[in-house]
Amino acid sequence: MKKKLMTVFGTRPEAIKMAPLVKLLQKNGEFEVKVCVTAQHRQMLDMVLELFAIEPDYDLDIMQHGQTITDITSRVIKGMEEVLKAEKPDMLLVHGDTTTTFASALAAFYQKVPVGHVEAGLRSGNKYSPYPEEMNRMLTTSISELHFAPTQGNRENLLKENIADYKIAVTGNTVIDALMSVIKEDYSFGGELDAVDFENKKVVLLTCHRRENWGEPMINIFKAVRRLVDAHKDVEVVFPIHMNPNIRKIAAEILSGNERIHIIEPLDYEPFANLISKCHIVMTDSGGIQEEAPALGKPVVVMRTETERPEAVEAGTVKIAGVFEDDVYNAAALLIEDDAEYLEMARAVNPYGNGTACEKINKKLAEFFCH
């Protein structure tokens, strides 16, 4: 009889990174595959499910506006208890570092269901930054039976925490598998993005959402962006804004009313990935975008104080700018003004794999169940 794998995810980035794995596991047919979504995000999750044509077997539909991490944790644990009791999978596959990830892993532990952790071993070394993701990752590692590490560095982090080597597979990141399925040479956007002058302007792609940046740091970041646009007539900013109302309020106060700053609704993954590919530079505090933009040869200014993704920093395509206005402004202005600096950073590097992460995960799962 086929072993039963259940995947669970809840937010946009988890969905993007788990979608190619779900599709591959379904196609290969070696396992029975069940898909559960917590819907920690609702609209931003559904956009990805639709793009990849994934129909969940279970949908916990937990999102509430203004949800706290305690709300998410308790609703996911309770919802997953029912699903796991009903399905009794042979393994639960979780992804990354969200509260869906950790709470689902804990629910699986309570039901004595082994957990496989996709995108395991990332560490910033500071348990409050990113918050609560660093702790979510560490707790998920403690619970998991199998660890799919994107890079050798991630594997080494796990070994330092006494995870046995045979439980780890270095796979690359499934985000590259996802990215390769949506990037198109001749992509045309349509809609609002047609108003953006990609030919004559230096287009800055902006995203900002992290919990530890809410408040003062986010105000600093948006002031730096505003200054960048005011000081450089050849700069145009596109900001597909996260649905969190905390972010929308600050952005409206600081960034609205400038015709070279386009604040738009979150984009579907396909146009977003192609927007990375067409823009000049990326300014972000996102995790996933730090992996995608280097693969597409775009310099990234990271508006955070640290990163759990040092590979692209070491390769020279990502700069950690911090969260003070002057630092963020200076890092971005340098790339706008200095062509040599720009070209030095605008090199395609891909420390996160070659688009075969899902194949490697499937192989490790097959070995695990075979033994």
Distance, CA of 35 to CA of 93 (rounded, Å): 10
Decide if 309 is catalytic. Answer: no
Decide if 341 is catalytic. Answer: no
287 forms part of the interface with ligand UDP (CB under 6 A)? yes
* Catalytic residue, candidates 30, 42, 192, 211: 211
CB of 63: closest distance to ligand UD1 in angstroms? 6
Distance, CA of 315 to CA of 186 (rounded, Å): 28
CB of 253: closest distance to ligand UD1 in angstroms? 18
Decide if 119 is catalytic. Answer: yes
Q: Is residue 125 left, alpha or beta, with left meaning phi > 0 and alpha meaning psi from -120 to 50?
A: left
Report what 361 binds from ligand UD1, ligand UDP, none; CB cut-off 5-8 Å by kind: none
- Encoding tokens for residue 81? 């208890």
Shortest CA distance to 242 belongs to which of 264, 221, 217?
264
273 forms part of the interface with ligand UDP (CB under 6 A)? yes
Shortest CA distance to 34 belongs to which of 80, 77, 74?
80
Q: How many CA atoms lie within 13 A of 70 on its CB side?
A: 0
Report what 207 binds from ligand UDP, ligand UD1, none; CB cut-off 5-8 Å by kind: ligand UDP
* Catalytic residue, candidates 46, 81, 156, 209: 209
CB closer to ligand UDP out of 87 and 291: 291
99 forms part of the interface with ligand UD1 (CB under 6 A)? yes
Q: Which of 11, 171, 173, 220 binds ligand UD1 (CB under 6 A)?
A: 11
Decide if 147 is catalytic. Answer: no
- Encoding tokens for residue 51? 């793009």
Site string for ligand UDP, 182-221 (x = CB under 6 A): -------------------------x-x------------
219 by Cβ neighbours in 10 Å (0-12 / 13-18 / 19+) ranks as middle
CB of 182: closest distance to ligand UDP in angstroms? 9
DSSP string of 68-137, one letter each residue: -HHHHHHHHHHHHHHHHHHH--SEEEEETTSHHHHHHHHHHHHTT--EEEES-----S-TTSSTTHHHHH
DSSP string of 28-57, one letter each residue: H-SSEEEEEE--SSSHHHHHHHHHTT---S
Distance, CA of 201 to CA of 187 (rounded, Å): 18
CB closer to ligand UD1 out of 170 and 275: 275
Q: Rounded to an integer, what is the distance from CA 32 to the centroid of its chain?
A: 26
* Catalytic residue, candidates 119, 292, 308, 327: 119
320 forms part of the interface with ligand UD1 (CB under 6 A)? no
CB closer to ligand UDP out of 77 and 243: 243
Report what 41 binds from ligand UD1, ligand UDP, none; CB cut-off 5-8 Å by kind: ligand UD1
CB of 15: closest distance to ligand UD1 in angstroms? 10
CB of 210: closest distance to ligand UDP in angstroms? 7
* Helix or strand run (H / E) with residue 238: strand 235-240
CB of 365 closer than 8 Å to CB of 146: yes
Decide if 371 is catalytic. Answer: no
Which residues in 230-259 contact ligand UD1 (CB under 6 A)? 243-245
Which residues in 11-50 contact ligand UDP (CB under 6 A)? 12-13, 16
- Which positions are annotated as active-site residues? 97, 119, 133, 209, 211, 242
Binding site for ligand UDP (CB under 6 A): 12-13, 16, 175, 207, 209, 240, 266-267, 269, 272-273, 286-289, 292
